[in-house]
Amino acid sequence: MTRGSPVLIAGGGIGGLATALGLAQKGIRSILLEKAAALGEIGAGIQLGPNAFHAFDYLGVGEAARGMAVYIDQLRLMDALTADEITHVDLGDDFRTRFGNPYAVVHRGDLHGVFLKACRDSALIDLRVSSEVTGYDQNGSSVTARLANGERVSGSLLIGADGLWSNVRKQVTADGPPRVSGHTTYRSVIPTEQMPEDLRWNAATLWAGPKCHIVHYPLSGWKVFNLVVTYHNDAPEPVAGKPVSDEEVMQGFGHIHARAREIIRHGRNWRLWVLCDRDPTERWIDGRVALLGDAAHPMLQYFAQGACQAMEDAVCLSHMLAQHDDYAMALDAYRAQRFPRTAKVQMLSRAIGEHIYHPDGEHARLRNAIMSAKSQAEWRDDFAWLYGGTGLNS
Ligand SMILES: Cc1cc2nc3c(=O)[nH]c(=O)nc-3n(C[C@H](O)[C@H](O)[C@H](O)COP(=O)(O)OP(=O)(O)OC[C@H]3O[C@@H](n4cnc5c(N)ncnc54)[C@H](O)[C@@H]3O)c2cc1C
């Protein structure tokens, strides 16, 4: 690859910033082109599996990222109809020893801030805002990104980290719009004192009910709780971040236990997303252009892994570009390593939505029986393929 000419990155989300940092670790310059007028993230939480911590270390932000995480004790699964615990996964010493890293939750803004500061501190990264990439042209020696403002920016490669509605994907893969799942998610962040006192658990808790589920966990040094509630209401159109009333959110949860409903009652300033994903496809690469993160493999959030997988992508891509002098071999090796793993997370995310988060009746009783019978060692074995990943293995 042409070392002198920078790599272009479309998108300044977690995937794009992680890519810029990964490339800088290998001495590769980049120009990051972000559509928005400012770089930032929405005010909500994010869960981080142990695989994310490996990526933080590789990207040079391990210490800063560890400093702003809340280290939860458990992943807890509750039955939203009975308010009984179905099972939990201990995240203590045995879990950390097995995976070499903890499981944690962070505020997205805090995490994005850590990445942004590291990017700003690097002389190898040029961050540009108000720079929407609309398409690209390439020849034998370079690729040129076309911007909505009429500018053209050239580099050795273009990485499309421009999210679910990626313009870069439109040209690379040309597979139409994402699939609308029909699942509606509402998000809110509330002060800890507004969370029912008996539910202030140091856990990522999921209440599973017929066609709905609720997730909550503490954030930002326990100052706030993140609430995410999802309702499978067959919503037909994609929506992202629309403000909605408290009453509208409550509508999908009349059938669950009062204790679970109570959590939703405390939410404020709710915003709505109709979730989208895609079927996996290997068409991530077009000459000097490659996709990464949600642009490559958008998934439902049910494994809490979209951002973790985007960071693993950044680790793998940087590693391959440093390993191979030939850019085509590097991009091919990146895709070969990342595609099977991310496709598995995409497909299993849909499956756990159907079989763990939303079942009813006999289906739910079967879930409870299977999941409550597992030992802690079995849980760790079940998660090994996911949390044991690093971006450098598959
Ligand atoms: C409700 C919910 C909960 C989630 N929880 C978790 C979780 O707990 N753990 C986890 O790991 N993941 C989680 N995810 C998934 C995670 O948020 C995404 O997978 C991750 O943010 C993807 O990062 P990205 O950088 O690929 O894309 P994005 O975050 O979408 O970033 C894309 C960036 O590109 C910019 N952009 C868009 N188009 C262009 C363009 N044409 N030119 C230039 N810039 C452009 C955008 O403005 C944005 O800044 C969750 C998702 C949802 C919806």
Ordered per-residue pLDDT tens for the chain, 394 residues = 445 799 999 999 999 999 999 999 999 999 999 999 999 888 789 999 999 999 999 999 999 999 999 999 999 999 999 999 999 999 999 999 999 999 999 999 999 999 999 999 999 999 999 999 999 999 989 999 999 999 999 999 999 999 999 999 999 999 999 999 999 999 999 999 999 999 999 999 999 999 999 999 999 999 999 999 999 999 999 999 999 999 999 998 999 999 999 999 999 999 999 999 999 999 999 999 999 999 999 999 999 999 999 999 999 999 999 999 999 999 999 999 999 999 999 999 999 999 999 999 999 999 999 999 999 999 999 999 999 999 998 6
Q: Does the beta carbon of 16 sit less than 6 angstroms from any atom of ligand 1?
A: yes
CA distances from 153 to 137, 166, 193 (A): 10, 18, 49
- Determine the length of the chain: 394
CB within 8 Å of 9: residues ≥ 6 apart: 16, 19, 20, 30, 31, 32, 33, 158, 159, 161
- What spacing in Å lies between the alpha carbon of 113 and ligand 1's midpoint? 15
Q: Are strands 289-291 and 157-160 parallel, antiparallel or unpaired?
A: parallel
Q: Ligand 1: does its nearest atom lie under 6 Å from the Cβ of 36?
A: yes
Q: How many CB atoms sit inside 10 A of residue 286's CB? A: 20
Q: Is 25 in the pocket of ligand 1 (CB under 6 A)?
A: no
Q: Are 144 and 191 in contact, with CB atoms under 8 Å apart?
A: no
Burial class (CB in 10 A: 0-12, 13-18, 19+), 331: buried
pTM over 0.95: yes
Which pLDDT score, from 0 to 100, does residue 2 have?
A: 41
| Residue 252: per-residue pLDDT | 87
Measure the CA–CA gap between 336 and 348, rounded to whole angstroms. 19
The secondary structure of 9-69, three-state, reads EECCCHHHHHHHHHHHHCCCCEEEECCCCCCCCCCCEEEECHHHHHHHHHHCCHHHHHHCC
Q: Which atom of ligand 1 is nearest to the CA of 10?
A: 43
Q: Alpha-carbon distance 318 to 21, whole Å?
A: 9
pLDDT at 94: 98
Q: Kindly state if the Cβ of 308 falls inside 6 Å of ligand 1.
A: yes
Taking the CA of residue 309 as reference, the ligand 1 atom at the shortest distance is 11
The reported pLDDT for the residue numbered 1 is 47
Indicate which atom in ligand 1 lies nearest the CA of residue 52. Answer: 11
Q: Which atom of ligand 1 is nearest the CA belonging to 294?
A: 26
DSSP state of 141: S
The Cα 385–Cα 387 span in angstroms is 6
Instruction: Tell me how far the alpha carbon of residue 14 lies from the centroid of ligand 1, in angstroms.
Output: 7
Q: Is 228 in the pocket of ligand 1 (CB under 6 A)?
A: yes
Place of tokens 């090796």: 333
Radius of gyration of the CA atoms of the chain, in A: 21
